[in-house]
Amino acid sequence: MGVMMDYFAATEQELAALDLDLGPAGNDWPYVDCKGWILEVEEFAAEIDGRDPSEFGRDEPLRGADDPEFLGPWTVRINAELVDALTRLEEGQIRGYADRFLLEDWEAGRLVALAGLARSAVAQGRALYSWSSV
């Protein structure tokens, strides 16, 4: 059994209207599919941004994310410092990182898409969330 994970952006009102049991894909909502991906986004962003991952704030657990017995789906609001770091990443930086750490092309594509999602979220006044389910 694996964990499914997607990143998406929403306002508080939009989040309240989403059926979180279905996830962003099931709601036909824009998202970045991160299923089967083991890369830690905080480490990736910190490496490129020249920071330590511990410098980022804490994500805000929502709907079951803070209960180890809850099998999901659960949702987490991504901390503002990480979102800010993601918005500053350019595709060339991400591709260079992917080359140095021998990431697959699809992994680099997900990182580029995630940085783009973060930029779009900030520009539209939305927060960035992760949605996960077992």
SS3 label, residue 61: strand
Q: What is the mean pLDDT of residues 72-81?
A: 88
What are the start-end ranges of the E strands in the chain?
A: 4-10, 31-33, 60-62, 74-77, 127-133
For the stretch 34-62, pLDDT in tens is 876 656 788 888 888 888 888 888 888 88
Alpha-carbon distances of 48 from 82, 91, 119, rounded to whole Å: 12, 11, 16
Query: Is the predicted pLDDT of residue 125 greater than 90, yes or no?
Result: yes
Distances, alpha carbon 60 to alpha carbons 74, 106, 127, in Å: 11, 28, 11
Query: In the chain, how long is the greatest CA-to-CA distance?
Result: 41
Task: For 1-13, write each residue's pLDDT tens digit.
Answer: 566 789 999 999 9
Q: What is the pLDDT of residue 70?
A: 65
